[in-house]
């Protein structure tokens, strides 16, 4: 059974893995045996992240590049393949959000969010898949969102991009399944991270809303994503393709507020 989830010797590229949920998923893959390649675009964050990974004894390399630059991505993927090894697992995690009402958001800002959250996963997946197709093996995991299914005030660009990423996942799965490449997605719910710390306090309206809206009655812990990431990166998911697994504590399963017991 353990061999189904063993990632020993596999090279995993995780974009945007210098912090937050990307780092949590990358560390989970590393603990399962994968050799990690983390991407970011800020030197200081990369330095601190590498130290964090190395303190846990994980095998990790860092590469700084802009995932929206197709020429640069092609160059860096070639470099990783030569310097680290064949990329077996890709996690498209890098993303951004701009919380601006639709009437106040200009087209340039809208395009920037779509470029990072939707176009970049297409660019990186395409460049990595060229090698995966040659080897007839690969796992691609796109990090979707609750906003792949639901709308919310002030996040029109983000929701449009994440909804598009859900359909990109399904289309790439359709095209590449014949090459033994599985393309799936993870849709995180609301998680306890540094970014959400200011609103995760009793009495804050959004905190209370999430606690009441989530059947599990809590925010997700970043480690809650680890099992799903390992599953979708391993042999255990070899016949699963084009699926989005929502790790959300049950939010999408219910229409109403859970009863207080």
Catalytic positions are 158
Asked if 74 and 47 touch (Cβ cutoff 8 Å), the reply is no
Q: Which among 246, 225, 195, 174 is positioned nearest to 14, based on CA atoms? A: 225
Determine whether 179 is exposed, middle or buried from the number of CB atoms within 10 Å of its CB (0-12, 13-18, 19+).
middle
- Assigned token pair, 62: 């860092």
Asked if 63 and 39 touch (Cβ cutoff 8 Å), the reply is yes
DSSP three-state, residue 157:
helix
Q: Is the dihedral of CA 178, 174, 248, 104 positive or negative?
A: positive
Cα–Cα dist 115/165, whole Å: 11
DSSP three-state, residue 74:
helix
Q: How far is CA 13 from CA 29, 62, 211, in A?
A: 10, 10, 33
Asked if 31 and 9 touch (Cβ cutoff 8 Å), the reply is no
């Amino acid at each position: 059974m353990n061999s189904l989830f063993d990632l020993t010797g596999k090279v995993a590229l995780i974009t945007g893995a210098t912090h937050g949920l990307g780092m949590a998923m990358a560390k989970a893959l590393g603990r399962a045996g994968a050799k990690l390649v983390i991407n970011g675009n800020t030197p200081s964050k990369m330095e601190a992240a590498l130290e964090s990974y190395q303190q846990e004894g994980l095998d990790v390399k860092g590469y700084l590049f802009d995932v929206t630059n197709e020429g640069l991505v092609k160059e860096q993927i070639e470099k990783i393949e030569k310097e680290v090894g064949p990329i077996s697992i890709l996690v498209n995690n890098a993303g951004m959000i701009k919380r601006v009402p639709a009437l106040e958001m200009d087209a340039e800002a809208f395009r920037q969010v779509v470029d990072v959250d939707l176009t970049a996963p297409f660019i990186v997946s395409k460049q990595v898949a060229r090698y995966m197709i040659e080897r007839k093996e690969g796992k691609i995991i796109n990090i979707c969102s609750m906003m792949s299914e639901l709308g919310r005030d002030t996040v029109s660009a983000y929701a449009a991009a994440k909804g598009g990423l859900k359909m990109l996942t399904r289309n790439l799965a359709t095209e590449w399944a014949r090459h033994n490449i599985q393309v799936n997605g993870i849709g995180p719910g609301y998680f306890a991270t540094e970014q959400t710390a200011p609103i995760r306090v009793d009495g804050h309206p959004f905190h209370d809303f999430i606690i009441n809206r989530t059947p599990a009655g809590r925010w997700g812990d970043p480690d809650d994503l680890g099992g799903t990431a390992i599953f979708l990166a391993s042999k255990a998911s070899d016949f699963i393709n084009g699926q989005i697994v929502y790790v959300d504590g049950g939010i999408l399963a219910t229409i109403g507020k859970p009863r207080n017991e």
